[in-house]
Structure 1
Amino acid sequence: MARDTLIGGALWEEYSSEVQRRMNDPVNMGEITQEEADKESKQLIIADFGAESCGDAVRLYWLIDPKNDVIVKSRFKSFGCGTAIASSDMMAELCMEKTVDEALKITNIDVEKALRDDPDIPAVPGQKMHCSVMAYDVIKKAASLYKGVDMSEFETEFIVCECARVSLDTLKEVIRLNKLDSIEQIVDYTKAGGFCKSCVKPGGHEKKDLYLVDLLAEVKEELEKEAISKKIKEAKADGDFNAMSLVQKIKTIESILEEYIRPTLKADGGDVELVDLKEIEGGYELYIKYKGECMSCSMNTTTTLAGIEDMLKFKLKANLRVLVI
């Protein structure tokens, strides 16, 4: 059946022919009975898993040889949409002739890729990727029953994007190393957020504990703070404030203003600008200019000014007077 075949008045060009074939004629659908397991001296495992986001569910049957942990037969029953049937059918097939530990390495991406007609074209639309995720999760459930452990033991990382199985640690590392600054770049580098898009921002078909937009903002803020701290260290040049050049002194003051002063002022609609730094007998005079709401604030020459001066004195360990122009 071609990808652009019309079915029931809907254009199914986003579904591969392999997906459509397995929707209509699944190869591995069925049951494995305890009688069959006893007859072959094998262990029967029956695992159920449901997806809360869509209400689909799958039951997985494994017939395992306890001598070597090999899954000699795998069958399934799916209670859901056609995509869930096709994904479950492929999942069951991929499990056969593998050990339980080998089956645990099968991911939802492996299932989806095995259903593709073209290696570069997804087998299903993004909003249907959760069906292959469900297939991945039921494998973990079956393995946990066979091994007698909780399935959470197989998940060692916090997964942000369930569709692409991308963890929080991986996302943070990729964003940091490549200095990514957009969701589009994250999708390009990691594939996270490229399928159902529920993990990108609130409002998708499935609620998430953490969204990519929040993670990106968090990492960018961390990188900015680290950059500021680095500038301070570089400006100090392994010496005290008095030993710095004028350029280094100004960079250091700017870094302190950016990290410790401006966030508070900006929160109230204001800001401060460094205008000049003069060296006087026994210390320094720093000239600043208020911006925004700070210009009309009644405390800009009292409490706010004293706070800026105290912070700079504390950080620089220098005799410094701050003046407003």
Structure 2
Amino acid sequence: MARDDLIGGALWEEYSTEVQRRMNDPINMGEITEAEAGEDQLVIADFGAESCGDAVRLYWLIDPKTDTIKNSKFKSFGCGTAIASSDMMAELCMNKTVDDALKITNIDVEKALRDDPDIPAVPGQKMHCSVMAYDVIKKAASIYKNVDMESFETEFIICECARVSQDTLKQVIKLNKLTSIEEITDYTKAGGFCKSCIKPGGHEAKDVYLVNILEEVMSELEAEDKSRKIIEAKGDGTFESMGLVQKIKSVEAILEEYIRPTLKADGGNVELIDIKEEDGVFNVLIKYQGECMSCSMNTTTTLAGIEDMLKFKLKANIKVIVT
């Protein structure tokens, strides 16, 4: 094929040499039969992409004693990019445990197909083909483990191509005060490939788009700014000048950002009960939850850490009391 020919609407030269090679001569295409399985377990998983009509079938030969994928093959019913992506996906699965194979993402597949680490292996509009390769891994693992494949997805993914979640997008937009889709793409890569996640009208319909998230976060930031200005107008902005509701919100914000993530990682949590002022001291009443309730450090190291963080962030005379 001439290098200026078109493949799926993209110039041939936009594909890496590795992608071109696997399009024409895939290494791992084929099937594994029951006769070949012996004492190993054969898993056959099918997954199709409604957006483009492509489909892939993945074969895994798994040692049930170690959960190791001893052999991995595929059949692809789609474009050349789907064939190349599926070929690399099958290869990356080999000699891994099923749990380790689940860690392989579409980004891993695409990067493994690059000739140059800094140059994408496929045009952005074809990135969704490697997403299908990622999805069929989840399907095969769900069959082997006898669970729903959706149980492997712990986050709500907005950009399938770059594997960027809704929570990550909101945090990045808020932290960096982003105001445009271009800035979001620069910071997260979301929307930089097939572009379906940016707004309605792309090749794949979404429940939530980047424009929705950007609008939502900008509205939240605007509301927070108005609230801050009202507080400043009523007082000097210090913890002491705040009303009770604002004091509670301020303490809650610090607990949520700096304290709870660590406690939750160990199966615990903390609840803010009340804030009471007495002789110039703000008594912050808390109640431990989960594993923290029986932890030997809940009245020593942990309590001191919470109190020190609140004092440092709020610049106030605070004492934390466990109820």
TM over 0.5: yes
In our comparison, the structure showing a higher alpha carbon Rg is 1
Q: Pairwise mapping of residues 72-151 of structure 1 onto structure 2 (< 5 A)?
A: 72-151=70-149
Shift of 1:7: 4.0
Give the drift of 1:225.
0.1
Deviation at 1:212?
Answer: 0.7
Counterpart of 1:13? 13
1:8 Cα shift? 6.6
Q: Please show how residues 41-56 of structure 1 align to structure 2 within 5 Å.
A: 41-56=39-54
Question: Which one of 197, 200, 205 corresponds to residue 198 of structure 2?
Answer: 200
CA distance in 1, matches of 2:104, 2:229: 46
Cα distance in structure 1, aligned partners of 2:196 and 2:14 = 19
Query: What whole-Å deviation, never above 9, does each CA across 1:178-197 have from its counterpart, x for those lacking one?
Result: 11111111001100000000
Equivalent in the alignment of 1:176: 174
Code of the residue aligned with 1:197 in structure 2: it is K
Matched, 1:187 2:191: no
Contact 2:22 2:87 (C-alpha < 8 Å) held by counterparts: yes
Structure 2: distance between partners of 1:76 and 1:164: 23
Q: Give the gaps of 5 or more residues in structure 2.
A: 242-323
Q: How far apart in 2 are the matches of 1:37 and 1:190?
A: 43
The residue that corresponds to 1:275 in the other structure is: none
Instruction: Please state how far the C-alpha of 1:150 moved relative to its aligned partner.
Output: 0.3
Partner Cα distance (1:14, 1:82) in 2: 13
Counterpart CA distance in 1 for 2:91 and 2:127 is 18
Counterpart AA for 1:205: H
1:6 is paired with a residue whose SS is: coil
Could you tell me which residue of structure 1 aligns to residue 60 of structure 2? 62
> Does the Cα contact within 8 Å between 2:6 and 2:12 map onto a contact in 1?
no
Q: Supply the distance in 2 between the matched residues of 1:8 and 1:52 (Cα, whole angstroms).
A: 23
- Quote the residue 2:24 is aligned against: 24
2:70 maps to amino acid: V
- Residue from 45, 57, 69 that aligns with 1:71: 69
Q: What is the rounded CA distance, in whole Å, between the counterparts of 1:212 and 1:25 in structure 2?
A: 38
- 1:264 is aligned to none
State the 1:5 CA deviation: 2.2
Letter in 2 for 1:143: A
Mapped to 2, the partners of 1:11 and 1:163 lie a distance apart of 20
Q: Please give the per-residue CA displacement for 1:58-101, whole angstroms capped at 9, x wherever unaligned.
A: 00000001111010100000000000000000000000010000
Unmatched tracts of structure 1, length 5 or more? 244-325
Number of residue pairs the alignment of both structures matches: 236
CA distance in 2, matches of 1:11, 1:84: 16
Question: CA separation in 1, counterparts of 2:112 and 2:236?
Answer: 58
> How large is the Cα RMSD of the aligned pairs?
1.7
CA distance in 2, matches of 1:195, 1:58: 21
**Deviation per CA, 1:238-262, whole angstroms, max 9, x where unpaired?**
69xxx9xxxxxxxxxxxxxxxxxxx
Q: Corresponding residue for 1:37?
A: 37
After superposition, the C-alpha distances for 1:154-213 in whole angstroms (9 at most, x for unaligned) are: 011111111111110010011011111111110011000000001111111111111111
Q: 1:59 to 1:206 in 2, by over 3 A?
A: same
Structure-1-length-normalised TM-score? 0.70
**Distance in 1 of aligned mates of 2:225 and 2:5:** 56
**Offset of 1:6 from its aligned partner?**
3.2
- Decide which of 145, 165, 169 is 1:167's aligned counterpart: 165
User: SS where residue 47 of structure 1 aligns?
Assistant: strand
Change in Cα spacing, 1:238 to 1:86, as seen in structure 2 (3 Å) is same
- Taking structure 2 as the reference length, the TM-score comes to 0.71
Percent sequence identity over matched residues? 80
Deviation at 1:237, TM superposition (A): 1.1
Secondary structure in structure 1 of the residue aligned to 2:127: helix
Q: Which stretch of the first structure deviates more once superposed, 196-205 or 5-14?
A: 5-14
Q: Distance in 1 between matches of 2:22 and 2:4?
A: 17
Matches within 5 A, 1:261-300: none
In the alignment, the residues of structure 2 paired with residue 71 and residue 218 of structure 1 have an alpha-carbon distance, to the nearest angstrom, of 43
Aligned to 2:227: 229
